[in-house]
């Protein structure tokens, strides 16, 4: 993994777009109900978050009470997802259709698409497991490594309602 990949124009644009989206959506992400704030967005940080990045973050916002979208990025990768929560709360567990892009430039290894289940604890803990269909391999994928069409997707981290 080359740390200089973080300085590419693509990564700068990706991080700037993620920051802009996070800031603008968080301004409109709270609904006041009976003097209580109902959180409608969250930030998740952890291992293999942000599209399967070594360390990354995902920003999610609810579009309806149970349906949400997320974008993420990290060291070194990015991803997106469409989420369906089991309860009408940003703190609830959910099913997701995820896209993971692992690596950038010469460090790009693979792209994946697949369903996952994301467990969310009541306070902060979150973990994800699912299956990803390989959409493509990049130059960082070892030529001697096996190429399976299906790969296990997983991550662990902490989430913070916004």
Which class for 146: exposed (0-12), middle (13-18), buried (19 or more C-beta within 10 A)? exposed
Q: Give the per-residue pLDDT at 6.
A: 52
Mind listing the pLDDT tens digit for each residue in 113-155?
999 999 999 999 999 999 999 999 999 988 888 889 999 999 9
User: What letter would DSSP give residue 126?
Assistant: E
Chain mean pLDDT for the chain: 86
Q: Which two tokens stand for residue 162?
A: 């916004």
Beta-carbon contacts of 99 under 8 Å, excluding residues fewer than 6 positions away, are 51, 79, 80, 81, 111, 112, 113
Q: Give mean pLDDT, residues 16-31.
A: 55
Beta-carbon contacts of 4 under 8 Å, excluding residues fewer than 6 positions away, are none
Residue 31 has pLDDT above 60, yes or no: no
Q: Give the per-residue pLDDT at 36.
A: 47
Q: Give mean pLDDT, residues 42-68.
A: 97
Window from 29-33, 40-44, 55-59, 141-145 with minimum mean pLDDT: 29-33
Residue 2 has pLDDT above 50, yes or no: no
Q: Give mean pLDDT, residues 45-63.
A: 97
d(CA 8, CA 104): 9
Mind listing the pLDDT tens digit for each residue in 60-86?
999 999 999 999 999 999 999 999 999
Q: Which two tokens stand for residue 155?
A: 């991550």
First to last CA, the chain: 32
Q: Give mean pLDDT, residues 31-58.
A: 84
* CA of residue 19 relative to chain centroid, distance: 14
pTM: 0.78
Q: Which two tokens stand for residue 35?
A: 């003097």
Q: Give mean pLDDT, residues 84-91.
A: 97
Q: Give mean pLDDT, residues 98-107.
A: 94
Q: Give mean pLDDT, residues 27-56.
A: 78
Q: Give the per-residue pLDDT at 115.
A: 98
């Amino acid at each position: 993994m080359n740390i200089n990949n973080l300085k590419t124009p693509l990564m700068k644009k990706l991080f700037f777009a993620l920051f802009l989206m996070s800031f603008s959506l968080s301004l409109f992400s709270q609904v006041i109900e009976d003097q209580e704030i109902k959180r409608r967005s969250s930030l998740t940080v952890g291992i293999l978050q942000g599209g399967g990045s070594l360390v990354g973050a995902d920003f999610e916002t609810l579009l309806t009470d149970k349906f949400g979208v997320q974008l993420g990025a990290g060291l070194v990768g990015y991803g997106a997802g469409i989420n369906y929560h089991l309860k009408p709360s940003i703190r609830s567990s959910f099913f997701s259709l995820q896209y993971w892009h692992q690596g950038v430039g010469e460090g790009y290894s693979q792209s994946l698409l697949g369903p996952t289940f994301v467990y969310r604890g009541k306070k902060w803990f979150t973990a994800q497991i699912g299956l990803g269909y390989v959409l493509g391999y990049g130059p960082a994928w070892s030529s001697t490594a096996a190429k399976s069409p299906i790969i296990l997707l997983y991550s662990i981290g902490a989430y913070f309602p916004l």
